[in-house]
Every structure is written in structure tokens, then in C-alpha cells.
Structure 1
């Protein structure tokens, strides 16, 4: 069987009705965010675009909370692990073959104003793994039909110097059990076990790490306040050009942080329920 190659496309942070507060906070964290976008499905977002992947703050504007209700039932914080694909339809066929399928691919778009002022649309096709397989969030493939409407050089420069998401951490009491869905998706040989019991999947410029609570607390200092022991998308690491830029951005934004010899850590209560780690 031919398996898709795992490459992280983007991550989703569920901010529900708090788009204004969340976007202001992530700008204080040193990210350049896109203008607010509005999907044809009813949700709204802000993006922080990097070289290969990006971060999405996803929520809804007043009076639109009845759209895409299933999204807002997830915990606030990191709830979306999204993979690149050239064909959402092909991925759906693969999901069916592996017994991982939910609904067939869906197409949607949002208007975009490019840096030169030109109006265009960002168009996507996505296909989601069966929701019951992904506790406290979603995992899906995203086919960018108009990548130029997302990856613009002017949007890839951030005050904190971030170049890419480098790590996506899922906390689980049973890492092997939580990794099973992704080993069925990409092939078990893609995973590597670490000495501390974590399972790591290389995903382009990023790695996806399924690890214990102990590991996450050691690496990030804390977990989301509402962590209840069930598998949870909990933390992100970022590759930055210069930790001095990160430190200056956080100081300017009045964001408390912890310095380590080779990293700067922001605990989840300071980053909308997501633990953040910046490194060179």
C-alpha cells in the first residue's frame, strides 16, 4: 500500500468568540497576523504565515456562533492538526481504505486582499479523519488550490523572527495508543520511539510528538488549565532566526516568559491555552 507523506500544513487554535482578544494577544507574542478572513462556511480567522506551514486563530464573529457548531465544542486552544495534500479526493480514498474516513472532501473559500491591494480568494478542499478518532480536536488534509493567496513573502516576516512551526505536541497517557490512528494513516514505520516513551513523526519542517504529561510539563512548564487526562493537543515549538527577537517581542508585548539556555518558553495561560516554545 502507498501511504501519503506527512507534511504539516498548519495548526488551528480554537478561539471561539474571542477573535479580537486572541489576535491582539498573538500580535503581542510577536506574530504578524493576516487581516481577518471570513470563510464561506461561516467561521473567521487570522493567520500567521511561515515558510512551509502556518498558524490559524479560528473563531466566529458575533451572531455567527451557530455556524460550524462542532468546532466550538472543542476546548479553547490547540485543536487542529492539518496535513498538506495535492488531492483531498485521493486522501479520502486512502482514509476509506484504512477505515479512518469521516465525510467526503469539502470545498470552501474566503476573500483575501493581497499585499499589493489586489482582491482574490483563497480556495481549499479539505478531508477530515473521522471525528471520533481525534479526541479534543480535529485532524484533516488541506489542499490549497490557490497557495499564492496564503504564502506571500510580505506575510512571512514576524517581529519575533519565527520561520516555521517545528514541533506539535500531543499529550497522552498512552502515547502508543494515541499514535495508532496516525500510524494507520501514514504507516507505522514513519514513527520513531524515544527514550522517554514518546513517539515522533517527521512532518516536513515540523515533527509531531505524542508524549506523556511528564514530558510536556518538563518541556513547556505547564499544560492547559482544563487538561483532564484525555489526549490533548497542547504545545507548539517554533524555529526562530534569533532568540533576541523573541525576547524583545515578548517584553514589548508585556508577556511573561521563561528563558532557558537554548529556548524561550511561554506557558499556556499566556498564549490562549497553548504552550509555546521558541528555539534556534
Structure 2
């Protein structure tokens, strides 16, 4: 089984323009708005090999419904927004979609039909280049409220931009993805298959899986509140929530200064400087 690092997280919001302005106030460089042919729109925050996809619904009339074994990215995120804003999908990097599919099927997971697409991307200097992606969607039966897939970037040289990866707040990369759930042990089989990492560390605070890019923390709400100094997202019995992103920064004091100047709320917590989810479009950002 191939070990996979985090590729990106989809952060779904009702007001895409307002969320993009929020991230810019927090000191991030945000890419121009891009449009998908299936009705969604996005902005990206590029880090070191990982990115945040800030997603909104652009034209609901263009969203196709899922049919048979197809997965509808647009319909899934439209339906997610009926319940809440926040991180809707976790995405792992892929070098070989066929190998991903084989690994998931061997683990007994439901894998959807392959999906590929391309579009044009605008670079900071205005140049237009082609980008393309191969996606392998997989279902977590223990957490149907969230989406999961691997993503192979066919033209990384056209996608990544050193300018877009340079942020005024000094953030450089992903440290962790934090998922709150009632029973972390019940999730370990799925996440071992998704990440390709069989080894994990279990403590009284939950389960940690190290990946080639970032670590995954699975923890109960009580552990989240203790470590991150803010209330955990509300979850139904047996449910989960993608609660926080841990982000590496060159200087945490610099981040604090940016947030204070922008009048954005944050708290100091054992795991870092935390912008709570409740005030910030449903996802906590943790600067470490």
C-alpha cells in the first residue's frame, strides 16, 4: 500500500467572496476565483505542496446529480451546505489512481467511478496555463457527511506558483488535519486505507497518523476543547467533523500581529494560536 500525504482540504462556504476576504485579512495570498463546469467556484490558498480549496456554489442549475456509481462533487457540496459551513472533504495526494483504487478495494471500501477534468489557470503575471486532475472518490461508511478522494495533479509545473505560496502572515505549510469524532478507534480502518499508513499512535487524547505531508489527528470533542482552547464542532452520535487545520508558520508572533491589526479573534492554546471555527466559516485555523 502506498503512503499518501495530504493534497488539499475542501472548505465549503455560503459566501465565497466574504470567505476569501476573511483569509486575505488573516494574511493569506488567495488566488483569483475559478469556475467549474459543474456549478461550483473556488479560490485557493497554496502552501508547500498542500492547498486549501475555498469552495462556493456559483450556479446551482449546472450541478449534476449523482447517478449510479458516479460521484457528483457539486451535488455533494451543495448538500453539505444545507447543514453547515466548514471543511467538507479531505483529499490525499495521488501518484497512481489505479493503484489507489486497488488499495481501497482491497480494504473493502466503496470506490466510485474514476473522474478526470482539466481547466485553465491564471498565474500571478496573468499568464494562462492548462491544469488537469485525476480523482478517485471513496466512501467512508462511518462518516457519510464528508467526502474523501485522492488527486493526481497532471501538470504540477503549471499549477504551483512561488508567488501564490508566499503569504504575508508567514504561513508555509500544513502541520495537521484535525477530525473530531465520538470514537476515534472506529475510524482507524478507513483512515489507514485512505492514507496508506498502517502504523498509528493511540493515546487517551485520540489517534494520530503520520503521513508524508502532515499528520492526521482523530480525537473526541473533549480532547479538542482541551488542546485547542475552543469548543469542538457539534456532531451527531457516531458522527464526525473536520474541525481544524494546523498550519506551520515562520513566526507565530507575526501571525498574531496580522490578526490583531485585522481585528480578528484568536486564542492561545496548547496546540498553538487558534482562530475558532465558530467565528470563521466553520473551520478552525491553528498556527504552530
The alignment's TM-score, normalised by the length of structure 1, stands at: 0.90
Name 2:4's counterpart in structure 1: 6
Residue 272 of structure 1 deviates from its aligned partner by 0.7
User: Which TM-score applies when normalising by structure 2?
Assistant: 0.88
Question: How many angstroms does 1:226 deviate by?
Answer: 4.5
Q: 1:100 maps to which residue?
A: 109
Deviations 1:226-256 (A, max 9, x none): 5434211111111101112211221232201
**SS of equivalent residue, structure 2 residue 110:** coil
Matched, 1:228 2:236: yes
Q: 1:137 to 1:223 in 2, by over 3 A?
A: farther
Deviation, structure 1 residue 64 = 4.6
Secondary structure in structure 2 of the residue aligned to 1:189: coil
Asked whether the equivalents of residues 8 and 51 of structure 2 are also in contact (C-alpha less than 8 Å), the reply is yes
How many corresponding residue pairs? 275
SS at 2:223 equivalent = helix
Structure 1 stretch displaced more, 20-29 or 255-264: 255-264
SS at match of 1:164: strand
Q: Is the 8 A contact 1:37 1:110 kept in 2?
A: no
Cα deviation per residue 1:182-223 (whole Å; 9 max; x = unaligned)?
A: 1244566321112x2411111223100101111111122334
**1:131 deviation in Å?**
5.3
- Which residue of 2 is the match for residue 258 of structure 1? 267
Question: Counterparts of 1:87-236 in structure 2 under 5 Å?
Answer: 87-130=96-139, 132-186=141-195, 189-194=198-203, 196-223=204-231, 226-229=234-237, 230-236=239-245
Task: Assess, with a 3 A threshold, how the Cα gap between structure 1 residues 164 and 149 changes in structure 2: closer, same or farther.
Answer: same
Structure 1 segments unaligned to the other structure (5+ residues):
none
Separation of aligned partners in 2, 1:205 and 1:90:
19
| Cα distance in structure 1, aligned partners of 2:153 and 2:104 | 19
1:69 counterpart (75, 81, 86):
75
Deviates more, 1:165-174 or 1:108-117: 108-117
CA RMSD of aligned residues (A): 2.1
**Structure 1: 4+ residue segments shifted above 6 A:** none
Contact 1:83/1:142 (8 A) holds in 2: yes
Gapped regions of structure 2 (runs ≥ 5): 65-73
